[in-house]
């Protein structure tokens, strides 16, 4: 009887530990961090295009003035270029990003996600910088 109780307790312990929920894996955590960085600036894509149009319109207006302030025209065109480049960078990153793990080892997956973290962070900074410059110039 005593052995049966010990056996049941031990069996229950192993079953509970074996079926217990495990926390997210390192790759799941990394993937969530990558997506969070993307999600921070993705809603701003429309603003990038809107500000780009405004910058180009302003450059066009300045080109019609007499005398033309070439430095100001170039400044507005440079901001428009930065906005366009940031927009393209986001979509280039999204097209190359693999949301599936395929048949990678954990080490390969970790390396891939760390690389993606660097890339998406660069895009995030580029978007924020372009927006900041444009908002400052177009205020």
50-109 pLDDT, tens digit each = 999 999 999 999 999 999 999 999 999 999 999 999 999 999 999 999 988 778 898 999
> Which candidate, 58, 129, 30, 37, places its Cα nearest to that of 87?
129
105-134 pLDDT, tens digit each = 989 999 999 999 999 999 999 999 999 999
For the chain, the average pLDDT equals: 89
pTM of the model: 0.80
Could you tell me the residue ranges of all domains in the chain? Answer: 23-138
Burial annotation 77-106 (CB, 10 A radius, 16+ → b, else e): bebbebbbbbbebbeebeeeeeeeeeeeee
């Amino acid at each position: 009887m005593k052995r049966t109780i010990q056996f049941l307790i031990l069996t229950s312990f192993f079953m509970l530990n074996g079926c217990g929920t495990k926390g997210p894996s390192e790759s799941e955590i990394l993937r969530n961090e990558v997506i969070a960085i993307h999600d921070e600036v993705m809603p701003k894509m429309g603003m990038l295009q809107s500000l780009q149009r405004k910058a180009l319109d302003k450059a066009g207006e300045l080109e019609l003035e007499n005398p033309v302030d070439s430095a100001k025209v170039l400044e507005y065109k440079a901001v428009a270029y930065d906005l366009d480049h940031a927009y393209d960078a986001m979509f280039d990153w999204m097209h190359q990003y693999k949301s599936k793990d395929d048949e990678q080892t954990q080490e390969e997956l970790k390396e891939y996600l760390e690389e993606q973290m660097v890339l998406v962070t660069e895009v995030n900074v580029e978007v924020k910088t372009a927006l900041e410059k444009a908002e400052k110039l177009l205020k």
